[in-house]
Amino acid sequence: MFNISAFSLYDAVFIVIAGVTLLAALGVVLLPNIIYSALSLILTFLGVAAIFFQLNSGFIGVIQILVYAGAISILILFAVMLLMNIEPGRTNLPTTRLKALFAGGGITAMFLTALIAAIGFTKWPQLQLITTDNSVEMLAEAMLGDYVIAFEAAAILLLASVIGAILIAKGVQEK
């Protein structure tokens, strides 16, 4: 499978990006300080965005950076700052319930094994990456054409979640 002569720059870039992304993701889960976890999460988002660029999907990559690495990360950071009432180094520890820890680890391992097995057992045809990228026009047509109802529904969902978030976070005024 591993053929050094077929090894191209594209592949090397992919391996680097994927490695960084996975390491950053592990950091999110394993670092004991939630601030570092959040920063690591931003790195993961950027890595995923890089994967999107690698896949010739620039538009999704840009959205990924804007929405995830920009907006959501900042939101999370704000929440973290707001809610920290203990020393920072103990903010992101694994659960105290050992049974849950082992069960969670076990089931994750099994899930990963199952997914790898599923990918490995599948006979993949020889597929080539589509290099042209006119996806912005097509996305626009699809979103305002066939999928316009879903588009509107998503808009209403966002509106509802914004109002809901404000109401919930504000809390009920005690009279």
When asked if residue 173 is in the footprint of another protein (CB under 8 A), the reply is: no
**52 in Cβ contact with 61 (< 8 Å):** yes
Phi first, then psi, for residue 90 (nearest 5°) are: -120, 20
Binding mask 128-167 for another protein (x = CB under 8 A): xxx----x--xx--xx---x--x---x--xx-xxx-xxxx
Q: Compare residues 87 and 171 and give the one whose CB is closer to another protein.
A: 171
Structure tokens at 122: 């599948």
CB atoms within 10 A of CB 74: 12
When asked if residue 89 is in the footprint of another protein (CB under 8 A), the reply is: no
CB atoms within 10 A of CB 47: 22
Phi first, then psi, for residue 9 (nearest 5°) are: -65, -40
Site for another protein, residues 98 to 127, rule: CB under 8 A: 100-101, 103-105, 107-112, 114-124, 127
When asked if residue 74 is in the footprint of another protein (CB under 8 A), the reply is: no
When asked if residue 82 is in the footprint of another protein (CB under 8 A), the reply is: yes
